[in-house]
Amino acid sequence: MGVTPRQYAENLRMQTLKEDLRSGQSVTDAIYSAGFGSSSRVYYQADTQLGMTPKQYRSGGAGIEISYVAHQTALGLILLGATDRGLCFLEFGESEEDLLESLQAQYPKAKKVPMAEPYSDEFARWMESLSEYLAGARILSRVPLALHGTAFQLKVWTYLQTIPTGTVRTYSEVAEAIGKPAAVRAVASACAANRVALLIPCHRVIRGDGGLGGYRWGLHRKRTLLEVEREATLRNQCGTEGSIVA
């Protein structure tokens, strides 16, 4: 799985916490029913697992401000959304209007505002990293993620992050790796449900016959990502300066 048993257990507790918060439980009840021994542990993990405090997450983002910005990349338009705690949204789309509708569906009560210019140095560095990643030139910087899904989806997405750059796995291989060899279709569904492009690399999962299978943001993007990563990996193996990892 690429994580320790303790890390995996904490991921499952965090997923249960998210589900309980979305169902309307109080923050305190949700924390302890999820198996956390104290609230301090949850708030320590909030930045990297929720992108906001548990109370804000429970309320659909009420009381928080999400800054968003559309950016044209080599693979088309993307929309990024961030709170003051980190990135909470990253998707490809055909128009900014469609992407804003998707952001609204995920955080219906949050205040959404266009990201003010000049952009922060941190954001500029991440966008530079993204552009160079898509060009096959460097590592894509990691940022806090807000993952929404079932325990099974979380298990799949955790495994996907361990697939080395420049390689692929079949849906069957992913199912076997997570201990659910009969759940091939469920693995494919979990890949399709991923809403964090690139950082959860579902583009590295293909069909057993070598076909690309599906991709939420279009097969042309999946094909390009695989080609970019494969070529970059080959250059790195030949001693060319630079590497790419997502």
**DSSP code of 26?**
-
| Domain that includes residue 162, residue range | 151-237
- Kindly tell me the sign of the dihedral angle through the C-alpha atoms of 97, 102, 108, 113: negative
Task: Please say whether the beta carbons of 56 and 64 come within 8 A.
Answer: yes
Instruction: Please answer whether residues 136 and 243 qualify as being in contact, where contact means their C-beta atoms are separated by less than 8 angstroms.
Output: no
Boundary (domain end) residue, out of 134, 167, 186: 134
Question: For 187-201, what is each residue's pLDDT tens digit?
Answer: 999 999 887 888 889
What is the pTM for the complete model shown?
0.67
Which residues are within 8 A (CB) of 168 and not within 5 positions of it... i.e. 6 or more apart? 204, 205, 206, 226
245: Cα within 13 Å, side-chain hemisphere: 9
Rounded distance, CA 84 to CA 99, Å? 20
pLDDT, tens digit (0-9, with 9 covering 90-100), for 77-102: 999 887 776 677 889 999 999 999 98
Residue with tokens 């579902």: 202
Task: Tell me, yes or no, whether 196 lies in a domain.
Answer: yes
Nearest partner of 110 among 147, 148, 59, judged by Cα: 59
* Residue segments in the chain with a per-residue pLDDT below the cut of 50: 1-3, 43-44, 46-48, 240-246
Q: Are residues 230 and 155 in the same domain?
A: yes
Q: Per the structure, how many domains does the chain have?
A: 3
**242, part of any domain:** no
- Residue 70 pLDDT: 93
Q: Are residues 120 and 187 in the same domain?
A: no
Q: Could you tell me if 38 and 85 lie in one domain? A: no
Please confirm, yes or no, whether 202 is among the known catalytic residues.
Answer: yes
pLDDT of 246: 45
Active-site choice (88, 191, 202, 238): 202
